[in-house]
A and B are shown apart, each in its own frame.
Chain A
Amino acid sequence: MKTKQLLILVTFVALFAGCATVTPNELISARSAYRLASEGPAEQLAPAELHKAHEALVLAEQSFLKEPDSQKTKDLAYVAQRKSEQAGTLGAMAADKARKDKANVDFQKKQTEIVKQGKQDLSDSEKRTADALAALAALAAVKEEERGLVVTLSGGVLFQSAKATLLSSAEVKLDQVANALLAVSARNLIVEGHTDSRGSESYNQGLSQRRADVVRDYLVKKGYPADRIQSRGKGEGSPIANNASPEGRANNRRVEIIIER
């Protein structure tokens, strides 16, 4: 509406003064600056400043009608131009502030969403872990230790004596273990091979490493992430029973899968 009124005034000025006199550059610039400001965000976001610019431009136009070539007209037009630029800048600033406020709200929302999703993921993960542990406990001996959760598989169930080749019956068991472990595939695993004390220490070390490798490779083949699973041969150095009896030696021949925390 104001722009319309101003256009009428400008037309009026042009009709009566335009033919006889040259419009000062200051006034041309002021009109242009006001138009630019009024077409931008200032109309919505800095209306008071735009109104001041409008009033300043009206004063300049009126002065131009009375004294087209005067310094006063040029000065008033100059002021109108600056006030228009000021209104335009304030409009842009208000738009920037609105953009900033919206971005901050979006940031908060996204953060809340992430935290919520994180909690949900944690809850899901905890449930998956509990289910996996229950499944593992049904398949093998499971023990909570400082190094993590230790799943112990008897060597006699997995391998032929003195060999590192999986028994066919062992594959069924390992499939079940792998399925349970896949539910916690974000955890790091260590597969440790252990032997009894019969045979030389170096032989036992090599055998335990080969057995650990075989189990590791099998779990990887079943889908466990290779970069999350290591194998270690521990030889006869970490017995869990007395090697003097056949029963004790059978217990010492084992593969442990450690699920790290």
Chain B
Amino acid sequence: MKHVSKNGIMVFAVAVVATAIVAGCANAPLRTEASTSGIRAAEEAGAAKVPQASLHLQLAKEELELAKALAAKGKKDEAASMLLRAEADAELAVVLSHGDAEKSEAMAAVERVRQLRKDNQ
């Protein structure tokens, strides 16, 4: 058996570790949790019933699918960037869902006061 030097073993070990890290990064799964939970939150907030929120919910879903497709093609950076779009649209959909209700409630409260004043002039 051929003698292998100590230095040789070290170089080999470093090479194996480096290869493992590079390979690991390249194959790291796409982190879609934030997008999917954002989309779920928007759906639970009733985004589908609010036109503007519904639009952004739809965009978020499409962007998530696009990100997955890019990841499948190995375009990890582009996929991650597309996921940021999906997250941003999902978050906006959540906010818009609540915004509509808040606006309606404010209008109803103002109207209630106006009516009370009118009835008691």
User: Complex Cα distance A90/B84, Å?
Assistant: 20
A206 to B103: give the CA distance in the assembly, Å: 67
Distance in angstroms from A248 CB to nearest chain B CB is: 53
The reply to whether A71 and B102 contact each other, CB–CB distance below 8 Å, is: no
Residues of B within 8 A of A79 (CB): 84-85, 87-88
Asked if B77 and A78 sit within 8 Å, CB to CB, the answer is no
Contact of A89 among B89, B92, B106, B120 (CB under 8 A): B92
Contact A82–B89 (Cβ < 8 Å): yes
CB within 8 Å of A: which of B91-121?
91-92, 95-96, 98-99, 102-103, 105-106, 109-110, 112-113, 116-117, 120
Residues of chain B within 8 A (CB-CB) of A114 are: 116, 120
B63 → chain A closest CB, angstroms: 9
A92 CB, nearest partner CB in chain B, Å? 7
Stretch at the interface among A99-107, A166-174, A196-204, A253-261: A99-107
Q: How many A-B residue pairs have CB under 8 A?
A: 75
> B92 touching A85 by the CB < 8 A rule?
yes
Asked if B84 and A96 make an inter-chain contact with CB atoms under 8 angstroms apart, the answer reads: no
CB contact list, B75-92 vs A, under 8 A: 77-78, 81-82, 84-85, 87-89, 91-92
- Write the nearest CB–CB distance from A136 to chain B, whole angstroms: 32
A106 to B98, CA, bound (A): 24
Assess A90 versus B106: contact at CB under 8 Å? Given A72-B81, A76-B84, A103-B112.
no
Q: Determine whether the beta carbon of B106 is less than 8 Å from that of A99.
A: yes
A106 to B87, CA, bound (A): 40
What is the distance, in angstroms, from B32's C-beta to the closest C-beta of chain A? 16
User: Is A175 in contact with chain B by the CB < 8 A criterion?
Assistant: no
Q: Is the CB of B109 within 8 A of A107?
A: yes
Given A79-B88, A110-B117 in contact, is the A96-B95 Cβ separation under 8 Å? no
Contact A89 B88 (CB under 8 A): no
Contact residue among B91, B98, B103, B109 (Cβ-Cβ distance under 8 Å from A103): B109
**Interface status of A194 (Cβ within 8 A of chain B):** no
Residues of B within 8 A of A89 (CB): 92, 95-96, 99
Within the assembled complex, what's the spacing in Å between the Cα atoms of A106 and B109? 10
Top 4 A-B residue pairs of the complex, sorted by shortest distance between their CB atoms: A82-B88, A103-B109, A100-B106, A96-B106
- 8 A-B residue pairs with Cβ-Cβ distance under 8 Å, sorted by A, are A78-B88, A79-B84, A93-B95, A97-B102, A97-B106, A103-B106, A104-B109, A107-B113
**Chain B positions near chain A (C-beta within 8 angstroms):** 56, 77-78, 81-82, 84-85, 87-89, 91-92, 95-96, 98-99, 102-103, 105-106, 109-110, 112-113, 116-117, 120
Chain A contact residues, CB within 8 Å of chain B? 71-72, 75-76, 78-79, 82-83, 85-86, 89-90, 92-93, 96-97, 99-100, 103-104, 106-107, 110-111, 114
